[in-house]
Structure 1
Amino acid sequence: METVIFRRIVLMVMMTSMMVNMAKSELHYVGGNKFSWAPNVNLTQWSMHQHFYVHDWLYFGYDRHMQNVLEVNKTSYENCIDKDFIKNITKGGGKDVIELKEVKTYYFLSSCGFCWNGLKIAINVENAAPSSSPGHNKSSSCTIGINQNLVILLILMWGIIIFK
C-alpha cells in the first residue's frame, strides 16, 4: 500500500515538473511570422530583439521547394558552408520546429546559395527565463498555453482523483 502511494506521489511530482517547464516555454517564429525564413529578411536584427531560453522552440516557416534549415557550427555559419552540418532540421513540409535544449549559441542557415542572401541566423540561448522578461517581444513569439493557475488547478484535481 505504501509503495503504491509513493509511486503516485513520484508520478505527480514528475508530471508537475513537466507542466511547469511547458508553461515557461516560448515558441518563436523565426523572423517574426510563420513564413519569415526567407531571403532578404533581416534575421540578425530580429534575433537581436529576442530572448531565447532553454526549452524554448524555434519555428521555421519557408518555401519547401526552395529553402531548408541546417544547424551548423560557427565557422560554417560565418562562411555560409552547407557541408558537414550538425543537423538537418528540414522535414520537407516547410514548417519545421526545433527545441533549444541547452545553453549555447545555435547557428542555422539555408543551403543552395540562400545563406549568401542573408538566410542564416545565430540564436544565443540563455539558461532560464526570468519570471517577467522585460523587453520580451510577444509580437514575434507566443507562450505555449498553460498558465501557473491552470497548472495548480490541474495538480489539485489530479491529486484528488488519485488519492480518492
Structure 2
Amino acid sequence: MERVKKKMLGSPAMVLLFLGFAVLLMVPEVSAKRWLVGDGKFWNPNVNYTVWARDKHFYIDDWLFFVYDRNQMNVLEVNKTNYENCIAEHPIHNWTTGAGRDVVPLNVTRHYYFISGNGFCYGGMKLAVRVEKLPPPPKAAPEKAGAPSLSSRGAILLMPVVFAIGAAWDAFIYSR
C-alpha cells in the first residue's frame, strides 16, 4: 500500500501537475482584445467604419488589426481635423508596414483617428475610436447570513496550493 501511495504522489510528473493547476488558479484573466477592423470586410473602401465601431468599447491595451490590399492602401493615424477632411499629409503615425496586416496598440486613453491615403478616405476608409480605461469589476453582492465569508473563499483558493505542497513534501519524504 505504501509503495502504491509513493508511486501516485511521489512521481515528479504528479507534483508538477498539481503545481501547474495551482498556478493556473492564481493567474488573472487577460482582458485585452484584438479587434479585426471591419470584421469580415476588413479595411476596404465602401465600408462604414463609423457604424462598425458604434457599439464597440475600446479599452487600454486592446489593439486594432487592419487587413487590406498592401499595394493600394495604408493605415495613417491623423488628428481630428485631418480625419474629418481626409488629409493624409503629415500623419501623426504611419502604421503601414507593407504587409497589409498592421497592428495598432491602443495604449493611451484618448480618441484615435485613422484614414487610408491615396483617395481611399473619401471612399469611407476612415475610423475613429475612443479608448477608455477598463471599468472596475462589479461590486460583490452583500453577504447573506450563513454565506461563506471572504476568509473561507480564500481558503478554497488556497486548497490546491496546500495540496501541491503536501504532495511535494510526501514525494520528498518517501523518495529516501
State TM-score, norm by structure 1. Answer: 0.65
Q: Which runs of 5+ in 1 are unaligned?
A: 1-18, 133-151
Does 2:71 align with 1:79? no
Amino acid at match of 1:88: N
How many residues in Structure 1 have an aligned counterpart in Structure 2? 115
Cα offsets for 1:69-98 (capped at 9, x unmatched)? 000000000000000100000000000001
Asked if 1:115 is matched to 2:149, the reply is no
RMSD: 2.0
**Residue-by-residue CA offset, 1:8-52 (whole Å, 9 max, x unaligned):** xxxxxxxxxxx75x811000001113x510000111101002110
Structure 2 vs 1, CA of residues 93 and 129 (structure 1 numbering), >3 Å: closer, same or farther? farther
Give yes or no for contact 1:71–1:88 (8 Å, CA) kept in 2: yes
Q: Are the aligned partners of 1:24 and 1:129 in contact in 2 as well (CA < 8 Å)?
A: no
Equivalence for 1:103:
109
Identity level (%):
47
Matched, 1:23 2:38: no
Please say if residues 70 and 88 of structure 1, whose CA atoms lie closer than 8 Å, have aligned partners that are also in contact. Answer: yes
Report the secondary structure of 1:24's partner residue.
Answer: coil
Q: Secondary structure at the match of 2:30?
A: helix
Q: Which amino acid aligns with 2:94?
A: N
Where do 4+ consecutive residues of structure 1 move more than 3 Å? 129-132
1:141-160 C-alpha deviation (Å, 9 max, x unpaired): xxxxxxxxxxx9xxx7xxx8
Over 3 Å counting, the alpha-carbon distance change for 1:129 and 1:94 in structure 2 is farther
Structure 1 residue aligned with 2:54: 48
Task: Return the index of the structure with the highest Cα Rg.
Answer: 2
For structure 2, the 5+ residue unaligned runs are 1-26, 139-156, 166-176
> Are the aligned partners of 1:61 and 1:96 in contact in 2 as well (CA < 8 Å)?
yes
